[in-house]
Amino acid sequence: MFKDFKKFETTLAGRPLVVETGKMAQLAGGSCLIRYGETEVLCTATMSEKPREGIDFFPMSIDFEEKLYSVGKIPGSFQRREGRPSEKSILSARVIDRPIRPLFPKDMRNDVGIVCTVMSVDPDCLPEITAMIGVSVALSISPIPWAGPISGVSVGLVDGQYVINPTAEQREKSEMAVTVASTDELIAMIEAGANEIDNDTMFEGIMFAHKENRRMVEFIKGIQAEIGKEKVDFPSNDPDPAMFEAVKEFAIDMVKAALDTDDKRVRDERLSPVYTAVHEKFDEEYPEQTEKLDDCLYKLQKYVVRRWLLDEGKRVDGRGIDEMRPLDAQVDLLSRVHGSGMFTRGQTQVLTVTTLGTISEAQELDGIDNETTKRYMHHYNFPSYSVGETKPSRGPGRREIGHGALAERALLPVLPSVEEFPYAIRLVSEVLSSNGSTSQASICGSTLSLMAAGVPIKAPVAGISCGLVTEGDRFMTMVDIQGLEDFFGDMDFKVGGTKKGITAIQMDTKVHGLTPEIVKEAFEKTYAARCKIIDEVMLPVIPEPRKELSKYAPKMLTTHIDPEKIGDVIGKQGKVIQKICAECDCKIDIEDDGSVFIASTDLENAKKALGIIETIANDPEVGAIYKGVVTRLMSFGAFVEIAPGKEGMVHISHLDTKRVERVEDAVNVGDEILVQVLPVDDQGRLNLSRKNALIIMSGGTPEEDDPGSRRPARREGGRDRDRDSRRGDRRR
């Protein structure tokens, strides 16, 4: 039935990798089912027949579809079906997008749609890595113009050894998680998170992954040679070369004068009359291509910026090649938030706000991996006013999600553990102004915000970007790229980390890839810039995390109780824990292992709740004094509740320092009294003494006494058995 069915097999990191074609999705331009271990992803690539009209970009979309049946789950949503893509699926799509996009023709305007459907997941074989290889196969065998193939692998550092595609168990122990994509010669993409890894170790790990990628590229080339379709032609969208040369000759001096400023607003104001002049000059000469005149001006700006950099070593704003724009750092800009920090680099400015919450406020996840909650959340917002535009806010897009995840990855290694700092942490980075590398500015602003909030981070983290311009074998890199250098350059190499080492990398290119020399130079330049930002800008503003939290932040206390006592603390239908929360104005979370987290804006209230919980969960300490509430009176004494569900009896002889004839003469129901815990009696009952507590509070020492030996038995039949016994003795 499947006459075109083909099966190709190899191994990757010691596990079988199988590519099947010709069986599924045969109407797509290119498709394959790729199996890696027991992870199985259907990858398809399709191109529209005609270009999309009226656009000036290549319209490619990538969907990474997480199907919860792949891990044997039913979706937790109301409809019980997959809804909008999760953040993890969006990030996976971006990781695949970045290495393949530069390999498409830049002047192509046909829509290309790529879909990765995750159908089965083996925790030891990452579906995003599997999908990246599958997409490369699908594009390579399709008629879509593309200069691949590429391959991608993950590399970890476990017990000092590099590991390709580490298993789930190895990923738990790995010091870094680095995804590297490569062509047959160049490094096409890097995405990394690491525990302060030094430059050399990171570089060697990338080269280790690159070597394995080159082997996989040869495997894919073999598939392409056997079953690949002939690539189709497409109508070019580039302007006529003669038109570009005419515009260049007419406007190059005007464009140079307009671009030569460090102020984005001034540059835009200067460029506006240049566009007007070009249209006035050439609209009649090229009546059917007037829209291409703007493309010519864009290409001309790119030409000027690149020639300045390569030939003159000159940057648009007059800086040196490795000089950063003016830097500024501030904290405590907002009054009632738990922590705030703002970082400014030239005309890029980001304000980050920290909010601390209880562990129960951690984000719940419903995805295809083993992660079910996320204690630390980093959200990044990019409003239109930050670039001087007007556009309604429609919520975070893929770019915002990606930049928030990058900042989150950069800061995660320095955050304290939940045992050290029992809080859920949410950071929100608000981009106030954007002219290059806002994601790295958000890392710096977030460090300031965390330190201002009193989060005991291990070390400050800074982020910086490195750009690139290439021409044949020539290349040059520059640190702290601004908008134009990003648009017209060939690379945006973002590195976040401490002075000790790297915590995150995100590398994008507009060319086919980078040589090892370029990667090494980028590491060196970003390290020097990070250290300068930390030492000269951030630490002078706030040298270490604050020792105390904001008065508006919840104060958190923790304890651990016997899991068998959890029911006693919660009480029937939650009545006990609800009573504690109401009485102490606090919030209490209890984990299944007996971990208890108590949060309150008033530390004394939290301490009070902690004491109550420990009293319920543990036997009261003999000799300790508690404040209790009288719950009922008997003729022989009063019952006092020292904690919800924890009640003891004060014998009448221990109700006061003087003789008490009637219990009602000393206490009444509802009274709050201090009591001391006495040794339990032979029946294990809790005995209390108000008399001893009063003596101790007045500075005296109580006499040793054990009212338990005189404690009466419970009333039966409406009578007190001890009282009846005494009456019998008198009659005798």
- Report the C-alpha gap between 480 and 503 in whole angstroms: 18
* CA dihedral angle for residue 168, residue 174, residue 178, residue 182, rounded to 10 degrees: -70
671 and 606, same domain (yes or no): no
pLDDT tens for each residue of 291-345: 899 999 999 999 999 999 999 999 998 899 999 999 999 999 999 999 999 999 9
Residue 550 lies in a domain: no
Burial (CB count within 10 angstroms: exposed 0-12, middle 13-18, buried 19+), residue 717: exposed
607 and 632, same domain (yes or no): no
Whether 243 shows a pLDDT value over 90: the answer reads yes
- The confidence score (pLDDT) of residue 705 equals 54
- In Å, what is the CA distance from 325 to each residue of 263, 270, 600? 11, 21, 43
Which helix (H) or strand (E) element contains residue 200?
helix 199-227
How large is the average pLDDT for residues 245-270? 94
pLDDT tens for each residue of 50-72: 999 888 899 999 999 999 999 99
Residue 83 lies in a domain: yes
Rounded to an integer, what is the distance from CA 463 to the centroid of its chain? Answer: 16
Whether 681 shows a pLDDT value over 80: the answer reads no
Domain that holds residue 259: 241-312
246 and 375, same domain (yes or no): no
575 and 684, same domain (yes or no): no
CB 363 within 8 A of CB 379: no
Q: Which of 602, 569, 553, 364 is nearest to 454 (CA)?
A: 553
- In Å, what is the CA distance from 661 to each residue of 649, 656, 664? 17, 11, 9
- The confidence score (pLDDT) of residue 364 equals 84
Whether 722 shows a pLDDT value over 50: the answer reads no
Beta-carbon count within 10 A of 570 CB: 17
pLDDT tens for each residue of 363-385: 888 788 878 889 999 999 999 99
Please give the order of strands across the beta sheet that includes 555-560: 555-560, 595-600, 587-590
- Report the C-alpha gap between 17 and 8 in whole angstroms: 8
Q: Name beta bridge partners: 182.
A: 151, 187
Three-state SS for 402?
Answer: helix
Domain with 658 in it: what CATH number? 2.40.50.140
Q: Which two tokens stand for residue 104?
A: 């498409």
Residues comprising the chain, all counted: 732
Residue 559 lies in a domain: yes
Q: Please provide the average confidence, as pLDDT, over all residues in the chain.
A: 91
Tally of domains within the chain? 5
661 and 584, same domain (yes or no): no
450 and 577, same domain (yes or no): no
Q: Name beta bridge partners: 472.
A: none
- In Å, what is the CA distance from 481 to each residue of 258, 388, 535, 619? 19, 19, 21, 64
- Report the C-alpha gap between 439 and 406 in whole angstroms: 7
Q: Which amino acid is at 11?
A: T
Domain with 418 in it: what CATH number? 3.30.230.70
305 and 397, same domain (yes or no): no
Q: Which amino acid is at 569?
A: V
Residue 319 lies in a domain: no
Residue 159 lies in a domain: yes
Three-state SS for 560?
Answer: strand
Whether 726 shows a pLDDT value over 70: the answer reads no
- The confidence score (pLDDT) of residue 704 equals 62
pLDDT tens for each residue of 116-135: 999 999 999 999 999 999 99
- Report the C-alpha gap between 59 and 588 in whole angstroms: 50
379 and 441, same domain (yes or no): yes
Q: Which of 687, 694, 678 is nearest to 711 (CA)?
A: 687
101 and 123, same domain (yes or no): yes
533 and 427, same domain (yes or no): yes
- Report the C-alpha gap between 710 and 722 in whole angstroms: 9
* DSSP code for 308: I
- Report the C-alpha gap between 603 and 550 in whole angstroms: 12
Burial (CB count within 10 angstroms: exposed 0-12, middle 13-18, buried 19+), residue 221: middle
Which helix (H) or strand (E) element contains residue 584?
helix 575-584
pLDDT tens for each residue of 2-39: 888 999 999 999 999 999 999 999 999 999 999 999 99
- Report the C-alpha gap between 157 and 356 in whole angstroms: 32
Q: Which two tokens stand for residue 714?
A: 């419970």
Beta-carbon count within 10 A of 655 CB: 24
Which helix (H) or strand (E) element contains residue 246?
helix 241-259
Q: Which of 701, 705, 681, 684 is nearest to 693 (CA)?
A: 701
Whether 715 shows a pLDDT value over 60: the answer reads no
User: CA end-to-end span of the chain, whole Å?
Assistant: 108
pLDDT tens for each residue of 629-655: 999 999 999 999 888 878 899 999 999
- The confidence score (pLDDT) of residue 728 equals 40
Parallel, antiparallel or unpaired: strands 687-689 and 646-651: parallel
Residue 219 lies in a domain: yes
Three-state SS for 115?
Answer: strand
Residue 145 lies in a domain: yes
200 and 308, same domain (yes or no): no
Q: What percent of the chain has pLDDT over 90?
A: 76
Q: What percent of the chain has pLDDT over 70?
A: 96
Q: Name beta bridge partners: 479.
A: 466
Whether 682 shows a pLDDT value over 90: the answer reads no
Which helix (H) or strand (E) element contains residue 590?
strand 587-590
How large is the average pLDDT for residues 617-624? 84
Residue 234 lies in a domain: no
Q: Which two tokens stand for residue 281?
A: 């000059």
- The confidence score (pLDDT) of residue 720 equals 42
CB crowding 38-49: b at 16 or more within 10 Å, else e: ebbbbbbbbbee
138 and 217, same domain (yes or no): yes
Q: Is the dihedral of CA 32, 36, 40, 41 positive or negative?
A: negative
